Amino acid sequence: MIHILLRVFQYAKALFTRKKRSHEPPQTRHVSRQKKGKPDKKQKGPMTFQELGLSSEGLAAVERMGYGEMTPIQEATYPIITAGRDLCALAETGSGKTAACAIPLVQAIDTSENAIQALIIVPTRELAIQYVEEIDKIGSDMGVVAFAAFGGFSKDIQIAKIKHKVHVLVATPGRLIDLLYDGVVRLSQVRCVVLDEADQLLMEGFLEDIDLIMSCILHEHQTLLFAATMDDEVTGLTKKYLRDPVHVTLLTERAVPVSIEHYFSYIHPKQKEAELISYLTREKVNQTIIFCNARHKVDRLFRDMKKTFRDIEYIHAGLSQNKRSSLFRQFKSKKIQYLIATDVAGRGLDFTHVSHVINWDLPFDTSQYTHRTGRSGRMGRKGTALTFVSKSDLPKIRELFRKKEFTPHWIGRNPLEVTGRPHDKQTPKKTGGSRRYRGKRRSKPPGKSSTQPSP
């Protein structure tokens, strides 16, 4: 009871401090995308964490993490979450959705109660680990215990930990169901359920699991959905799990992060490797992830690239969990510069230093393109994406350009250009981004490049 009163007080305080801001959250909020450093004149600057009425430990934690101002998604969702409303929040990759959820959630935990009070479901093991790390940073001084449960790791250890004390359980669907069957996880005290990367969790492959998990939480609870992409079909599915939700969308349907430049290279598959080596050598690469569509392609590319680059590793679901976790840790702390990966690294993971994302293979669909390229350009930093395109990819490329609002820059020939003009005279739709390439390629005009495809 005291806990609820405290929450109401904190929310009222936050609203009071922000007097002229919105009072009750409206049903749907569409917040326009603002460029960093160019705030809308009519609006106040971003809200700071001091204004929220966080506990002193919470405030000290966000300060330690270097978070001064709230990101737009954090500012938009905080009052909704603390008011106990269900929420479907959409915002671009790298916009701070984890903390948007974790900060109010941690504040709501009653540490005197030894029970799982919040359940966060994520699609991959690495995301579970990352989520727990973020919650630990925010909540460990308050005594909040978060724990990640995922497959590929000793169930006995996880059971022992859960039985001892866990307030926030972050889990992948498969292992969570196992633990539910074993009677280890009790969800009767869960007040808040979060689906992160909700669109993926509500897609075939996970949907049945999510259905089963949600059917185990019969009592009244709050449900929060976070995603960077969501099509209409999935939005329809969310209705089943949300009660009178508020929809916050900081995305237009076609948006991609403005901080990323999108390059494409039309190339014969046999020439990709030479082009990749040449690209990585001439570009100023901080860290890069090279995405392939299949494990065997990752293996093969790694074998070949290892001959040229020493500081290179690979990752896919065929590796042991220990190896995967260790590689991700090393990559995150910049001990590895080049990582060849399948889509296990494609979603949600926060790699601050990634300057370049390379699609060795064209992603299967538009949202996968958004997630992969969103591993760079996080929190407004500059990022570069390069996608190799072969002849059979052209229909999908057209679809990508139709669905996503960005300026594609072609290195060399643009195969979609049908004017018959000389290749090297092409200008992109908007100016700016390709200048770098024009300069660099002066000695070797794209039209004469050895990497030109023979379509």
Contact residues: ligand ADP, CB under 6 A? 67, 70-71, 74, 91, 93-99, 348, 350, 352, 378-379
All residues at 6 or more sequence positions from 358 whose CB lies less than 8 Å from its CB, including other chains: 276, 279, 288, 289, 290, 291, 385, 386, 387, 388
**Closer CB to Mg ion, 98 or 414, in the complex:** 98
Q: Bin 22: left if φ > 0, else alpha if -120 < ψ < 50, else beta.
A: beta
Residue with tokens 């280890």: 184
Indicate the residue among 63 and 208 with the shorter CB distance to ligand ADP: 63
Task: Indicate the residue among 251 and 290 with the shorter CB distance to ligand ADP.
Answer: 251
In this complex, which beta carbon is closest to Mg ion, that of residue 348 or of residue 415?
348
Decide which of ligand ADP, Mg ion, none touches 387; Cβ closer than 5 to 8 Å per partner kind: none
Q: Smallest distance from the beta carbon of 341 to ligand ADP, in angstroms?
A: 17
What type of residue is 341? A
Task: Work out whether 348 is an interface residue with Mg ion (CB under 5 A).
Answer: yes
423 contact, one of ligand ADP, Mg ion, none, CB 5-8 Å limit per kind: none
The size of the chain, in residues, is 455
> Token pair of 12, please?
């009222």
The residue behind tokens 């993490």 is: 65
> Nearer Cβ to ligand ADP, position 17 or 48?
48
Structure tokens at 30: 């569409």
Supply the minimum distance, in Å, between the C-beta of residue 345 and ligand ADP.
Answer: 13
CB of 74 to ligand ADP, least distance (A): 6
Which amino acid is it at 319? L
Tokens 């495809």: give the residue: 453
Q: Could you say whether residue 378 binds Mg ion (CB under 5 A)?
A: no
- Please state, in angstroms and rounded to a whole number, the distance separating the CA atoms of residues 371 and 384: 13
How far apart (Å, rounded) are the C-alpha atoms in residues 91 and 97? 7
Residue 139 found at the interface with Mg ion (CB under 5 A): no
Pick from 225, 228, 221: which is nearest to 238 by CA?
Answer: 225
Q: Six-digit token pair at 240?
A: 């089943």
CA dihedral 261, 266, 271, 277 (to 10 degrees): -10
Nearest-approach distance from CB 98 to Mg ion, in angstroms: 5
State the minimum distance, in angstroms, from the CB of residue 355 to ligand ADP. 15
Question: Which of 67, 241 has the CB closer to ligand ADP?
Answer: 67
- Using the rule CB under 5 A, give the single segment among 254-262, 346-354, 357-365, 392-400 that binds Mg ion: 346-354
Give the footprint of Mg ion on this chain (CB under 5 A).
Answer: 97, 348
